[in-house]
Amino acid sequence: MGLLDIVPSGVITGDNVKKLFDYAQEHKFAIPAINCTTSSTVNAALEAARDQKSPLIIQFSNGGAAFYAGKGIDNKDQHASILGSIAGAYHVRAVAKHYGVPVVLHSDHCAKELLPWLDGMLAADEVYFKEHGEPLFSSHMIDLSADPKEYNIATTKKYFERCAPMKLWLEMEIGITGGEEDGVNNESADKDALYTPSEDVYEVYEALSPIAPYFSIAAAFGNVHGVYKPGNVVLRPELLEQHQKFVKDKISGDSEHPLYLVFHGGSGSSAEEIQTAVNNGVVKMNVDTDTQFAYLAGVRDFVLEHQDRLMKQIGDLSKGEGDSTPNKKYYDPRNWIRHGEKTMYKRVQQANSDLGNAGTL
């Protein structure tokens, strides 16, 4: 029995998200969460998942969502980010089922100053739920890891109580992911804060588990956003096993993995680090920096190869002024954008392979 015998294709929510993550833990794989900023990047990721027979997580960051709405829209009070997230969600819902893979529709890091963005998305979820019996999104992330632990857990609990009636999954972060991404800058964070104690993880579990089972924890184990030279980042994915055992012992549970864990800052990680994290109950790994560069590579290489055709509408510069061949097929955005999609497609498939997610349907 494969995954598609357990959950449907298209955007999944509620119990189906839980079933997906349970299946992933049981079969020792995780799902890449691909940050998307346009319909083109969404489609490239979905195409890669379809051809590899893999489930997928599509996610929008705050800045990525604002870009999706259009840079011409003012983002005062998170207006553009809310609009862009909702627009992206409807696009994913419209096309995902036609790619034939289960898709988790997610919003990425929401820090304290971005909470109006989360409020706006939740309002859209509630409207959609009234009409369709499920939320618009599959899940959201709240990230108050830079704030005091007590505030982080209490505020996360408050938002989870709002999510739970819709069976809307909530991801939270305890301990800090280093580096900088999308305007959230933790480059100067205390290095000790990059490694979450098991006691803190249990506090989160203790606060959220009585409400509903639909939550995951991004516990820091040295994670850093971006790609850095080898040796500059010290990941300790073995800490995740300690978290699982600590919580299991506290609750006297039977499951070896009572926690659904998330791997942030996955770009640039070694295959061994990824495998250790997956073996310790990670069900989701964020991939952004690497897919950004991969998309650029396709566009860049096309432009460099055809630069003599891209300097003007008619004529090849390398052939002199006498050439009058039209260049429309070169500068048509559908051409060079497609080259970006193709190279991003390959990087998404690499992430699937690294996580053991290829062929899991």
Q: What is the DSSP letter of 178?
A: B
Q: Which residues of 60-79 are buried (b: 16+ CB within 10 A; e: fewer)?
A: bbbbbbbbbbeeeeebeebb
Roughly what angle, to the nearest 10 degrees, separates helices 289-305 and 333-354? 140
CB-CB contact of 358 with 349 (8 Å): yes
CB-CB contact of 78 with 114 (8 Å): yes
CB-CB contact of 67 with 86 (8 Å): no
Q: Residue 265 — left, alpha, or beta (φ > 0 → left; ψ -120 to 50 → alpha)?
A: left
- In 3D, which of 25, 93, 87, 82 has the Cα closest to residue 258? 25
β-strands 184-186, 179-181 pairing: antiparallel
d(CA 123, CA 125): 5
d(CA 232, CA 308): 41
The reply to whether 108 belongs to the active site is yes
- In 3D, which of 192, 194, 172, 176 has the Cα closest to residue 184? 176
> Phi/psi of residue 178, each to 5°?
-75, 180
Question: Of residues 74, 108, 182, 316, which has the active-site annotation?
Answer: 108
Residue 116 CA, distance from chain mean position: 20
Active site residues: 108
